[in-house]
Amino acid sequence: MQKFEVILDRAQKRKGGANSLEALMPDAPEIDITKMGDDRILSQFSKNIFQAGFNWSVVENKWAGIEDAFHGFDIGRNAFMSDDDFDAHLKDARNIRYAAKILAVRDNAIFLSDLAQEHGTAAKCVGEWPSSDLVGLWQMMKRRGNRLGGNTGQYALRFLGKDSFIMGRDVVTALNLAGVVDGPVTSKAAQAKIQNAFNEWHAQSGESYTRMSRILAMSVGD
């Protein structure tokens, strides 16, 4: 497996030097997820679910209305979504009227309510989950939530401010080039190798998981 300094050097050369690469790096998140309301966790999960396979800008433009339609993503109210509530959502012009994704709001409200009972708040569970076991968090979200597998859940965590990597196409290409995996990255065995690699690179470089993810992508992509 390549050392992180090799990957960083390749990214710097592709982007025109260290300063040019640094200018493309994301700002360090200053968000304490543990202090968020669980409604904000449900809101972000739902937003990324609605955006999956859809035009993101359309969802963004409608989001204020969607927030209103789902009562600010109040956990209790959405967990008890009735059949009448569901029918009303399907008729509400403020919504993206996609039945399975509307039901995912209810199911994920139940999921987050369960996490809150177990950890005090769902936000505390997500915020305190170690970045050294992100794949464990992904697997828990996929198993217990609805439509939170794959990149959907990964992007939701990133937008919440979780220090995390995302298995985008360029990152996957870079991981193969670095000798971490050979081929697809969807199996638990492959994801365990990837987590171990990120943990080792973090120890080598002191970089955040978010920055390492971006550097990997830029080491191979445009």
Q: Do 98 and 146 fall within a single domain?
A: yes
Q: Do 91 and 196 fall within a single domain?
A: no
123 to 39, 126, 202: CA distances (angstroms)? 9, 5, 24
Name the pTM for this structure: 0.94
Domain count, the chain: 2
Kindly tell me if the per-residue pLDDT of 163 is higher than 70: yes
Please indicate whether residue 20 or residue 31 has the higher confidence score (pLDDT): 20
Which segments of 120-220 does DSSP mark as H helices, in order?
122-128, 134-144, 150-160, 169-177, 188-205, 209-218
**What is the distance between the alpha carbons of residues 44 and 123, in angstroms, rounded to a whole number?**
12
Q: Do 178 and 153 fall within a single domain?
A: no
Q: Do 119 and 188 fall within a single domain?
A: no
- Cβ-count burial of 221 within 10 angstroms (0-12 exposed, 13-18 middle, 19+ buried)? middle
Q: pLDDT of 32-47, one tens digit each?
A: 999 999 999 999 999 9
Residue 155 near residue 166, CB atoms below 8 Å: yes
Q: Do 96 and 63 fall within a single domain?
A: yes
**What is the distance between the alpha carbons of residues 34 and 123, in angstroms, rounded to a whole number?**
5
Q: What is the pLDDT confidence band of residue 26, given thresholds at 50, 70 and 90?
A: confident
Q: What is the pLDDT confidence band of residue 29, given thresholds at 50, 70 and 90?
A: low
Per-residue pLDDT averaged across 106-135, rounded? 98
Domain holding 209, by residue range, is 4-17+165-218
Q: Do 48 and 69 fall within a single domain?
A: yes
Q: Do 124 and 213 fall within a single domain?
A: no
- Note the pLDDT of residue 142: 97
Q: Do 148 and 43 fall within a single domain?
A: yes
Q: Do 95 and 171 fall within a single domain?
A: no
Q: What is the CATH number of the domain that holds 108?
A: 1.10.340.30
- Note the pLDDT of residue 187: 93
